[in-house]
C-alpha cells in the first residue's frame, strides 16, 4: 500500500521530538540545580528560578508531546521555549560568575 | 530587530503569508527547530557541566571562561533556531527557496577550534605541571 503520504508518522515523530526536548531541558535543570547547591543563598535563589523555568517549559512542551491524531504545528510555543532556553543559559552564567565575586 | 522578534510571537501574521503548505513540511520544519534547540540546550548543559566537573586548569578562571562561552553559545543557537524556523516557514508558504545559512559552518568551526584549544591546555598540563 503506497499512498505517498504518512499521516500517522509525521505527527508522531514531531511529538517524540518534543519529548526529547523536554527530557534535555530536565537534564540541564538538574545540572544547574547541582551547580547551585554548592554554596550560598544566591545559589538557592538561582536554583529556584531554574526550577520555575523548567516548570514553564514542562507546561509548554507536555501538550505538544502527548495525544494522538493530527499534531499542532508552529504557534507561540516555539518562541516561548526559545525564551525559556535563553533564560536557563543566563541563569547558568549567573551561577558560574557567582563564585568569582 | 524588534519587528523580527514580534513576528516570532505572532502566529496569525505568519499564517497570513502565502499558501498553507503541506502539513508535513511544517512538521519537518518544527522538528528541525527542536533539533537545533536541543543542540543549544546541550551547549548550555555542557557549560554547566564544565563549571562543576572540570579540574582546575593551568590558566586562572579558564574553567569559568569555557563555561560562560558554552552557555552564551547555547543561547545564541536557541535564538538562531527560532529565527531560522520562522524564515523557513515563511519561505515554504511563499513557495520560495529555503533561506541559506552560514551558521552551521560557523558553529562547527567554533566548536572545533574550542576543542583544539582544550587539547592544547590538557597537553600543557600533562607536560608542564604536576
Complex-level ipTM:
0.91
b vs e for A54-77, b when ≥16 Cβ sit within 10 Å of the residue's Cβ? Answer: bebbeebbeebbeeeeebebbeeb
Categorize the per-residue pLDDT at B26 as very low, low, confident or very high, splitting at 50, 70 and 90.
very high
How many residue contacts between A and B have a Cβ separation below 8 Å? 119
**Domain-embedded: residue B53:** yes
Contact A95 B75 (CB under 8 A): no
pLDDT of A74: 84
Crossing angle of helices A9-36 and A41-65, rounded to 10°: 170
% of chain B beyond a pLDDT of 90? 62
**Domain-embedded: residue A45:** yes
Contact A88 B41 (CB under 8 A): yes
Residue A31: domain span: 9-98
pLDDT of B129: 62
Residues of chain A with pLDDT under 70: 1-7, 101
**Domain-embedded: residue A68:** yes
**Domain-embedded: residue B103:** yes
Task: Tell me the C-alpha distance between B65 and B57, whole Å.
Answer: 11
Q: Report the number of distinct structural domains present in chain B.
A: 1
Contact B89, B14 (CB under 8 A): yes
Q: Report the number of distinct structural domains present in chain A.
A: 1
Residues B12-41 have a mean pLDDT of: 93
**Domain-embedded: residue B50:** yes
Residue B79: domain span: 22-128
Which tens digit of pLDDT belongs to each residue from B66-115? Answer: 999 999 999 999 999 999 999 999 999 999 999 999 999 999 999 999 99
Residue B130 has pLDDT above 60, yes or no: no
**Domain-embedded: residue A1:** no
SS3 at position A60: helix
**Domain-embedded: residue A47:** yes
Contact A10 B28 (CB under 8 A): yes
- What's the grid cell of residue A35? 551547580
Q: What is the mean pLDDT of chain B?
A: 91
Amino acid at each position: 500500500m503506497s499512498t505517498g503520504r504518512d499521516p500517522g508518522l509525521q505527527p508522531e515523530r514531531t511529538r517524540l521530538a518534543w519529548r526529547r526536548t523536554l527530557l534535555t531541558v530536565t537534564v540541564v535543570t538538574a545540572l544547574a540545580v547541582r551547580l547551585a547547591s554548592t554554596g550560598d543563598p544566591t545559589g538557592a535563589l538561582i536554583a529556584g528560578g531554574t526550577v520555575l523555568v523548567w516548570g514553564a517549559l514542562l507546561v509548554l512542551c507536555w501538550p505538544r508531546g502527548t495525544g494522538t491524531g493530527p499534531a499542532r504545528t508552529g504557534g507561540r510555543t516555539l518562541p516561548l521555549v526559545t525564551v525559556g532556553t535563553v533564560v536557563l543559559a543566563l541563569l547558568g552564567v549567573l551561577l558560574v560568575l557567582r563564585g568569582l565575586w | 530587530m524588534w519587528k523580527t522578534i514580534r513576528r516570532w510571537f505572532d502566529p496569525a501574521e505568519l499564517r497570513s503569508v502565502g499558501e498553507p503548505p503541506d502539513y508535513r513540511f511544517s512538521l519537518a520544519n518544527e522538528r528541525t527547530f527542536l533539533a537545533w534547540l536541543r543542540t543549544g540546550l546541550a551547549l548550555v548543559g555542557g557549560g554547566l557541566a564544565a563549571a562543576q566537573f572540570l579540574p582546575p586548569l593551568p590558566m586562572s578562571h579558564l574553567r569559568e571562561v569555557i563555561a560562560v562561552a558554552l552557555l552564551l553559545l547555547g543561547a545564541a543557537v536557541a535564538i538562531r533556531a527560532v529565527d531560522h524556523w520562522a524564515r523557513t516557514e515563511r519561505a515554504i508558504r511563499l513557495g520560495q527557496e529555503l533561506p541559506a545559512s552560514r551558521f552551521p559552518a560557523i558553529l562547527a568551526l567554533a566548536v572545533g577550534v574550542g576543542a583544539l584549544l582544550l587539547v592544547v591546555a590538557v597537553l600543557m598540563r600533562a607536560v608542564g605541571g604536576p
